[in-house]
Amino acid sequence: MYPPIPSNLLKQRAELSNWKRKTISEWLFEFCGLYGSRIALQDEAHSFTYTQLAEKIDARAAYFVSLGISKNDRVTMRLRNRVDFFVCFFALMRIGAIPVLALPAHSINEVIGVIQDSASVAYIGHYTDEPHEELILNWLDKSEHVKNILLDVLPAKQLMSTSLHPLAPANNQSLSEIELLSKNSEPEEVAFILLSGGTTGRSKLIPRTHSDYIYNVEMMSAHSYLDGSVRYLAALPVAHNFALGCPGVLGVLANGGTAYLGDANNILSLITIVDTYSITHTALVPSLADMFVESKKLGVSEFPSLKQIQVGGAYFAPDKAKSVIDELKCELQQVFGMSEGLLCCSKRGDSLDQIIHSQGSPASSEDRIRIVSSDLEDVAAGEVGELLAKGPYTIHGYLFNEQANQKDFTTDGWFITGDLARRRADGNIQIMGRVKEQINRFGEKFSPTDVEDLLRKGNKIIQSCLIAVPCSEQGEKTVLFVVNQSDLSESDVRKQLLEHNLSNYKLPDEIKLISQLPLTPIGKTDKHQLIKLYEV
């Protein structure tokens, strides 16, 4: 089911002294044993020590076995940031089943697409009585493939289904049986599946193996200098690579720290967690980092305990990056990451200029990157081109998707990221946007951020987004969406662009005022929604 691991990659891994040949379950029980009575995970309602976490995982694994879930079965999980996420996630891997991590904010069609594409035999979700949830349940109920639906709260209106179960352990399986099942997994096998962040079409299935993910987590833990004193806030969904394992909750657990699971949609509750638990580390997308900075400016919190904030996921303007350092008075680590593997980040010792103007350098010295032109030739030093990646923890193929594998990988195994990048003279990488988002207006090419960054230089416009839509005369025409925060008019916006001497060809063809920018499930500006908004 997984494109075979190329022999040169296996050789590279075998030669790495820090490549652990163990499964995530083996790793987990090692650290649970080491850190027993410390608090591992906490959410609004629960707090588990490492020992309790291990016990809950075994009980849940036994329950999964009793339901007939077995090795290599894919199970789509769509759980919010709660300790139960980790109980299910680890329990499935304990018996060799493969969690497929959907985000709580994925739409019903996306979730159904993921269940179908991964041929999941079970679905684990929270139950709310929103119509959305009912629709998924009705679909699941009719699905022939999905044998079990597990929910934390069972719906009042019972479905016909006999496959609906509470997400509560009913321990009727012996531990030795679980042990036996768990021994069946191999470090180089698929451990779990992440979903690609694309906003067009269906999410692609990203298979991550036990040992590649342990390596991924350990590399990033080292760059965050994690130890047992870390108190990490998972502000982003833990079903996403960033908060899961970069170094995320897994990095915190492997080092004996404590992870608090928060809700990205509720900024005030996040700030309360930071203050109450003296949070030292967190990972944010740029829009959330802005909110932290604004909260500090408004005096909502001083954030005295914060030591390091990672920001990644989307373009982070240098002025915004600087304000994190100036206002929050903690270390900023920019992270350019992708669920497919390659991670770049700022390193301790980078200069202020490197931290605010670049996305750092690869997390592992074994990562390989190339910056190429559209015909896959390397561009000259310092030039912008498309980023290709290869390395010990970067995937070499999606699951069940031959079409994407043909398109997104070169014949010699490079992953074509779709991102534009340049390598600075100091070796750090600067991400310049997505290839598909680069604007080509009358043949003049430029990046939307040239306009968006400039608009922030006035004091009225904080957020904007420039998109391109096809146009027969110009190739593309540009539409600037501006968040209307203080009675702006279209001519105010134009005036501001002209005052800052924006080149003529970069002036937007149309300007639209909007109350807020649509976001993707992880909190990045959703440009495809904006294009749709423009088209209606």
The one among 169, 187, 197, 391 contacting ligand J2J by CB under 6 A: 197
- The crossing angle, in degrees rounded to 10, of helices 24-35 and 83-94 is 130
Q: How many residues does the chain have?
A: 536
Footprint (CB under 6 A) of ligand J2J, residues 251-290: none
Two structure tokens written together for 416: 């074509």
Q: Which is nearer to ligand J2J, 120 or 334 (CB)?
A: 334
- Strand 385-390 relative to strand 415-423: parallel, antiparallel, unpaired? antiparallel
The one among 104, 313, 508, 521 contacting ligand J2J by CB under 6 A: 313
x/- binding map, residues 447-486, to ligand J2J, per CB under 6 A? ----------------------------------------
314 binds ligand J2J (CB under 6 A): yes
Buried-state track 512-531, b at ≥16 Cβ within 10 A, e below 16: bbeeebbbbbbbbbbbeebb
The one among 23, 241, 364, 428 contacting ligand J2J by CB under 6 A: 241
Break the chain down into helix, strand, coil percent, rounded to 5. Answer: 35, 25, 40
The one among 417, 447, 464, 484 contacting ligand J2J by CB under 6 A: 417
247 binds ligand J2J (CB under 6 A): no
Residue 256 near residue 34, CB atoms below 8 Å: yes
* Region of 184-192, 221-229, 337-345, 495-503 interacting with ligand J2J (CB under 6 A): 337-345
* Region of 35-43, 103-111, 267-275, 331-339 interacting with ligand J2J (CB under 6 A): 331-339
x/- binding map, residues 422-441, to ligand J2J, per CB under 6 A? ---------x--x-------
Residue 281 near residue 233, CB atoms below 8 Å: yes
Residue 234 near residue 259, CB atoms below 8 Å: yes
Minimum distance, C-beta of residue 422 to ligand J2J, in the bound complex (Å): 13
Residues near ligand J2J (CB under 6 A), total: 22
Residue 121 near residue 73, CB atoms below 8 Å: yes
Residue 4 near residue 10, CB atoms below 8 Å: no
Q: Which is nearer to ligand J2J, 66 or 430 (CB)?
A: 430
Residue 392 near residue 215, CB atoms below 8 Å: yes
Q: Which is nearer to ligand J2J, 182 or 525 (CB)?
A: 525
* Residue carrying structure tokens 């749709």: 532
Footprint (CB under 6 A) of ligand J2J, residues 496-525: 522
312 binds ligand J2J (CB under 6 A): yes
Number of Cβ within 10 Å of residue 464's Cβ equals: 23
The one among 315, 393, 414, 415 contacting ligand J2J by CB under 6 A: 315
Backbone angles phi, psi at 233, to 5 degrees: -100, 120
DSSP, residue by residue, 464-505: EEEEEEEETTTEEEEEEEEE--S---HHHHHHHHHHTT--GG
Minimum distance, C-beta of residue 194 to ligand J2J, in the bound complex (Å): 7
State the amino acid at position 256 in one-letter form: G
Minimum distance, C-beta of residue 378 to ligand J2J, in the bound complex (Å): 20
| Contacts with ligand J2J, residue ranges (CB under 6 A) | 197, 241-242, 246, 312-316, 334-339, 343, 359, 417, 419, 431, 434, 522
